């Protein structure tokens, strides 16, 4: 901006060169140059501050990535900047820790479990909460106010963790035992009052014409929901799916409580603890397991940026 201003002033001066140089214009150029310098200095300071802050923030993550490629000896020997750099000197053993985590510790099984639980939860979450949101936004039926009131109440009141009663319900009331415990892990992630609310809000903005046109063509309620409403609601469906995935993938406590003793059924977060406690596990292997656990979420955040930002927007509705 300032550069352009200066040249503009200069050309201005040359065109009026015949007349006496306008003192006002001269003063203007003189005043502008220090401002420009000051701006460059500010910019440089901003960039330096940004780089320093960024480094502070990602240093632990760089450390995690670096150590995950090192043998225990290499990790212990590293000093200074080498602490944060991968083990490029020994490319032959670069992925050894990952290989061990995958084969010997069998983390791939738990990663697959997590993916599967998340996939089931996402599909059911969208169908169950979407249908409820659809009915509450488009249908007129007696008792509608009752459900809307319950939804608002459950969203506003900050209920303290009910994880212990939830545990008694799954084990004592529903008698989910053995591999059936997996259902206990997935089902609570399927229902989300807040998602019902989100769907409700979004569906209300869809004009009734779409529905009516489909109804005239003889489509039933379910067909309208799956073929008309859901395809028109891709942004909200994606947002719900992304947050559901992150929620299920990152959940630790609940699956750990339910699946203690079922190592093969555990999702990946719950098995990290087990890896820590293996005899003779190296720091590099622990870090490799942490990296493997973080990669899918990282991919999701990059791929679904748009929907995550949308999710933030809708989060504001919560208040």
Partner 1 sequence: MTTIAIIILAAFAVALAALIAVDIVKAKRANVQYHLKQCIAGYLMMAPAIALAFVFVLLPILFSLGYAFTDYHMYYPNDIHFVGVSNFTELFTEISNKGELWFAIKNTALFVVLVVPLQIGLALLLALFTNRKKRGVKVFKVCFFAPVVISLTVTSFLWLQILAPNESGLLNSFLGMFGVGPIDFLRDKETAMLWIVLLSAWQGCGYQMLIFSSGLTNIRNDLYEAASLDGARGWDKFVNITVPGLKSTLLYIMITVFVGACRVMIQPMLMTGYELHTVTLSYYMYQMGYGSKLIGLSSAVALMMTIVIGAITLVQRKVLK
Sites for partner 1 among residues 172-231 (CB under 8 A):
172-174, 187-188, 190-191, 193, 196, 221-222, 225
Instruction: Please say which residue, 263 or 276, places its beta carbon nearer to partner 1.
Output: 276
> How near is the Cβ of 153 to partner 1 at its closest, in Å?
10
Q: 29: which residues sit within 8 A by CB, 6+ positions away?
A: 6, 9, 10, 13
Measure the CA–CA gap between 109 and 106, rounded to whole angstroms.
6
Instruction: Return the residue of 16, 168, 177, 263 that touches partner 1, per CB under 8 A.
Output: 168
Q: How far is the CB of 25 from partner 1 (least distance, A)?
A: 23
> In the complex, what is the shortest distance from the CB of residue 188 to partner 1, in angstroms, rounded to a whole number?
4
Q: Scanning residues 270 to 299, which ones bind partner 1 (CB under 8 A)?
A: 272-273, 276, 283, 286-287, 290, 293-294, 297-298
Beta carbon nearer to partner 1, 77 or 234 = 77
**For the chain, what is the largest distance between any 2 Cα atoms, rounded to a whole number of angstroms?**
98
> Counting contacts by CB under 8 A, is residue 158 touching partner 1?
yes
* Position among 12, 26, 76, 212 found at the interface with partner 1 (CB under 8 A): 76
Contact letters for partner 1, residues 40-59 (x by CB under 8 A): ---x--xx-xx--xxx-xx-
Least distance (Å) between residue 111 CB and partner 1 = 13
128 binds partner 1 per the rule CB under 8 A: yes
């Amino acid at each position: 901006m300032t550069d352009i201003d200066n040249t503009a002033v200069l050309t201005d001066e040359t065109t009026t060169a015949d007349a006496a140089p306008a003192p006002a214009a001269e003063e203007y150029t003189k005043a502008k140059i220090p401002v420009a310098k000051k701006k460059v200095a500010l910019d440089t300071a901003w960039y330096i501050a940004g780089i320093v802050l960024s480094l502070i923030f990602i240093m632990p993550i760089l450390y995690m990535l670096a150590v995950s490629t090192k043998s225990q000896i290499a990790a212990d020997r590293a000093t200074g900047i080498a602490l944060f750099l991968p083990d490029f000197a020994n490319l032959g053993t670069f992925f050894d820790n990952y290989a061990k985590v995958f084969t010997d510790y069998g983390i791939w099984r738990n990663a697959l479990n997590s993916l599967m639980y998340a996939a089931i939860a996402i599909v059911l979450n969208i169908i169950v909460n979407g249908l409820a949101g659809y009915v509450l936004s488009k249908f007129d039926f007696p008792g509608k106010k009752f459900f809307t009131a319950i939804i608002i109440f459950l969203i506003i009141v900050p209920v303290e963790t009910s994880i212990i009663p939830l545990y008694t319900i799954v084990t004592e009331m529903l008698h989910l035992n053995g591999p059936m415990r997996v259902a206990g892990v997935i089902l609570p992630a399927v229902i989300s009052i807040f998602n019902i609310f989100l769907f409700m809000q979004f569906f209300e903005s869809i004009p009734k014409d779409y529905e009516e046109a489909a109804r005239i063509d003889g489509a039933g309620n379910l067909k309208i929901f799956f073929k008309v409403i859901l395809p028109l609601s891709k942004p909200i469906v994606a947002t719900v799916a992304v947050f559901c995935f992150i929620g299920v993938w990152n959940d630790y406590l609940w699956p750990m409580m339910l699946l203690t003793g079922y190592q093969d059924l555990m999702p990946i977060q719950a098995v990290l603890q087990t890896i820590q406690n293996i005899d003779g596990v190296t720091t590099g292997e622990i870090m490799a397991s942490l990296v493997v656990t973080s990669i899918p979420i990282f991919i999701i955040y990059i791929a679904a940026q748009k929907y995550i930002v949308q999710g933030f927007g809708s989060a504001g509705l919560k208040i």
